[in-house]
Chains A and B, each alone.
Chain A
């Protein structure tokens, strides 16, 4: 019989942890399972779970969001994008259009979609119009985009691509002086597509335990148990705690479609900067579908805070796992899902949004109350 979440938890509590350990996850789905199940409170006091770079919408370059807004407003294209992206704010002067949602309210044709299949259908249904698919995502989303292109797309459909790869962000953190974690739970569905082997560098190069985790409490706690046990026993390797769908080598068809349609390039992460080999760009063969080649850049050279997180917003440090969502001074005060300031409060995969949805409504008390209060 399969081991239950409670049994994994019992085993985990029996581990003799010699010190405090921080375990990072890099997937909004993992963070959602953790927040929903109340797992943080069920773990030993010296185990911390920190959400890391697990939200592609949150790190989508601000300039690309700005460009998408301008394409819809000025080039009169039909712009389609995953629904998560519509409320992501850019940095503009007061009164100017600051999100795709506001652009739509101002008359631009912007359609939220749930699948690349929707983009193809909309392009076919509007054969005399130009349609731009603004596609931001990690491997799990960009592989379907590649499949869409490989299958053949309408001539009037182009792509504004903000595809990012997960592991280079983790490699960047591990290569820094302060990685901020002792073990990694690797993302289940990224590994389903790309193969778990992508994460072997974590134990092999950096001596950090890693386990691929699924999205049920059982699978996730099994992965936590694995990495904590590796820490206790001082031997690290890459474990696969989601073997049901994560198979050696991953999905070879998806990888082939990615390789034939896209190049791996250095890429910018909003608020973080350039990460080597962390992005996807359309290959030259598909230049006629590349919105970055088809349309002029509409950005103003002097636009304030271009490329940055919104002023005062700590999303970049939340994404890097340097702080928890409720340690941002804006969290739950100025920044809520109704009035989001940073992208982490917008996207369903943003750590701030996930924490909010699961009941964390106020910023953390980080300093003692003033003596006079």
Chain B
């Protein structure tokens, strides 16, 4: 649950944003972001559906590499 996921803002409606990461889209609340403007194309660090901080595209990319590896490890987790 502490896994913050970097996502790209693709649509905005007040405090609600549509965000995307690696082809997956979800609704994200911007309600707890500090008072700085968010625009389409910005990256945010998302935690349980809430953006907790803006981040740079570079930072988002290096985090995604980590998640890809984490998902691969989970996939190998055969519960056996």
Given A117-B29, A218-B62, A349-B1, the answer on whether A144 and B47 have CB atoms closer than 8 Å is yes
List of B residues within 8 angstroms of A54 by Cβ: 2
Q: Is the CB of B47 within 8 A of A141?
A: yes
- Determine if A102 is an interface residue (Cβ-Cβ < 8 Å): no
List of A residues within 8 angstroms of B3 by Cβ: 28-29, 32, 215, 348
Q: In whole Å, how far is A21's beta carbon from the nearest beta carbon of chain B?
A: 25
Q: Which of A134-159 contact B (CB under 8 A)?
A: 137-138, 140-141, 143-144, 146-148, 150-151
Interface magnitude class on chain A: 35 or more
Q: Is the CB of A337 within 8 A of B59?
A: no
Q: Is the CB of A337 within 8 A of B66?
A: no
Q: Is the CB of A244 within 8 A of B52?
A: no
Given A151-B15, A358-B73, the answer on whether A253 and B47 have CB atoms closer than 8 Å is no
**In the complex the two chains form, what is the Cα distance from A189 to B48 in whole Å?**
12
Q: Is the CB of B53 within 8 A of A192?
A: yes
Q: Which of B65-80 contact A (CB under 8 A)?
A: 65-66, 69-70, 73-74, 76-77, 79-80
Q: Is the CB of A141 within 8 A of B35?
A: no
List of B residues within 8 angstroms of A187 by Cβ: 2
Q: Is the CB of B59 within 8 A of A141?
A: no
Q: Is the CB of A245 within 8 A of B73?
A: no
- Determine if B45 is an interface residue (Cβ-Cβ < 8 Å): yes
- Determine if B27 is an interface residue (Cβ-Cβ < 8 Å): yes
- Determine if A254 is an interface residue (Cβ-Cβ < 8 Å): yes
Q: Is the CB of A253 within 8 A of B35?
A: yes
A sample of 22 cross-chain residue pairs with beta-carbon separation below 8 angstroms, ordered by A number, consists of: A28-B1, A32-B70, A82-B1, A137-B1, A140-B4, A141-B48, A144-B47, A144-B48, A144-B50, A147-B32, A148-B29, A151-B15, A189-B47, A189-B52, A215-B3, A244-B56, A251-B33, A253-B32, A254-B32, A257-B32, A337-B79, A357-B77
A-side residues, CB < 8 A to B, are 27-29, 32-33, 36, 54, 56-57, 82, 84, 114-118, 137-138, 140-141, 143-144, 146-148, 150-151, 187, 189-190, 192-193, 215-218, 244-245, 247, 251-254, 257, 336-338, 348-349, 356-359
B-side residues, CB < 8 A to A, are 1-4, 15, 27, 29, 31-35, 45, 47-50, 52-53, 55-56, 59, 62-63, 65-66, 69-70, 73-74, 76-77, 79-80
The 9 closest A-B CB pairs, nearest first, are: A115-B49, A144-B50, A147-B32, A338-B79, A357-B77, A254-B32, A244-B59, A245-B53, A117-B49
